[in-house]
Structure 1
Amino acid sequence: MRRRAPATGELEARLGHHFADAALLQRALTHISAATGAEGRLGSYQRLEFLGDRVLGLAVSCMLIETFPKADEGELSRRLAELVRAEACAEVALAMDLGPHIRLGAGEASSGGRKKAAILADVCEAVVGAVHLDAGYAAAAGVIDRFWRPRMLEPVRPLRDAKTELQEWAQGRGLATPVYREVARSGPDHSPRFRVSVFVEGCGEREGDGRSKRAAEQSAAEIMLAEVGALTEAQHG
């Protein structure tokens, strides 16, 4: 006997959004293993996840700008990365209690798909995308504010700086430790400006600047992280 998915009324109440187009929510909850019919994989949450990821980034960025008016770009970038990372989205999915509502193929369901962090994170972003399509950006931002603001105000994990993030990224792929070097220094002695490059094996060299060597190194690491992150996403898209 096939297990029936629970009704979505309670889920909509938790989200704080009632869908005018219920099909959007159903699609956001449908894993590719359960996508059937003429649409095939287009009937899964993948396109909505793509949209939700961008909406989430924008909404969280706006929250950060408003909440931390004295934070510089580096701090804002670190806070953003922490809030929108896959692990954070999976944790939000648990808070939304999305697991029981996810539609999976038999194989994926039997292997514990409803508890897999990667699937939970993807569905979380897809739900955000579905709300945006159903009622616009303001409605999606409202859902994001409901679930992400508490995490923003009380971070679950300590913020990691960009240099640490980049080093862990490289080590996780068996690459050598990133190498930093000072490229240039300008300005008067009392207010210098530094330009520093970072080299990562297989990724080339990127440059950043700042009012201290450390700030310039952080800037270079942030730029490298952004580019290798985009590259990784493109390769797996």
Structure 2
Amino acid sequence: MTDLPPFRQRQLEQWVQNSSLPAAVAINWVRLDQALTHRSVDATHNYEQLELLGDAVLRLAATECLQEHFPEASVGELSAVRSVLISDRTLAQLAQALDLAPYLTVAPGMTVGPTHLADALEAVVAVLYLETHTLGMVRAWLDDALLRLAAIVRQDPARQNYKVALQELTQAHSKTLPQYRTVEQQPVDGDPQRYASTVWFRETCWGSGHGSTKKQAEQAAAAAAYDRLCQTLTHESSAPSH
């Protein structure tokens, strides 16, 4: 695809004007259209490849942002906070706040869910990154929002120790505690990916994470699992019994 239909071009230009993107941003419009196109519309020109890159870029941008603004925080805390910031749930909320949903094209009759919005946001992040191959545009666009969310997360005691919060959650609904499966991947001290952990409950994996220590990896896994498991258990508790 080399050109966009005039209507789509105007539509994307309108979103950029309203999106708080830095004024100097140069946009590859075809690539932006790709970032906001679901596979159900086009099997090749869709956001999947961009989303893969955007996921890594956003993780790095969030890490830089947190380390710069919260230098006193421990690596474990920052890892847990970052897990919340880049979770599908949070990214979907951010995508809604940035008004991405009306511009995401999907097949007729398809419902746009949180995962689609999160993936589209990551794809847009990739579009910005590819303009300069630096984090400048991405951080100029998202830092304020990430910092607001990070402040909320850090003020919530449960989110500062996800392992404890997850244990309290499962104890409140079941006598079964979550189990962690943690492995050492890279035997290099200080490597942020040295340990990989998954957290299991009722024979289901609810989250995964990495860290330079076993504890940090388990905290990151617990952070990834907390909201998902909380929603599931709350739904179970509120469902009518038969």
TM-score (norm 2): 0.63
Number of positions where the alignment pairs a residue of Structure 1 with one of Structure 2: 187
What is the match of residue 48 of structure 2?
46
Q: Distance in 2 between matches of 1:134 and 1:209?
A: 32
RMSD: 3.8
Match of 1:119 among 96, 116, 119: 116
Q: Kindly tell me: are residues 153 and 169 of structure 1, through their superposed partners in 2, closer, same or farther at Cα, counting changes over 3 Å? A: closer
C-alpha displacement of 1:32? 0.6
Match of 1:31 among 19, 38, 46: 38
Q: Mark the structure with the bigger radius of gyration.
A: 1
Match of 1:16 among 12, 21, 30: 21
C-alpha displacement of 1:63? 1.0
What is the match of residue 147 of structure 1?
145
For the 8 Å contact 1:28–1:48, the answer to whether it is kept is yes
Matched ranges for 1:1-237 at <5 A: 7-13=11-17, 14-17=19-22, 18-35=25-42, 40=43, 42-108=44-110, 112-113=111-112, 116-137=113-134, 138-155=136-153, 158=156, 159-164=159-164, 167=167, 176-178=176-178, 218-219=215-216, 221-222=218-219
CA deviations 1:89-135 (Å, max 9, x no partner) are 00110111011101111131xxx32xx21111111111111111123
C-alpha displacement of 1:165? 6.3
Q: Distance in 2 between matches of 1:82 and 1:107?
A: 31
What is the match of residue 192 of structure 2?
none
For the 8 Å contact 1:209–1:219, the answer to whether it is kept is yes
Q: Percent identity?
A: 29
What is the match of residue 191 of structure 2?
none
C-alpha displacement of 1:24? 1.0
TM-score (norm 1): 0.65
AA of the residue aligned to 2:86: V
Q: Distance in 2 between matches of 1:199 and 1:144?
A: 30
AA of the residue aligned to 2:68: E
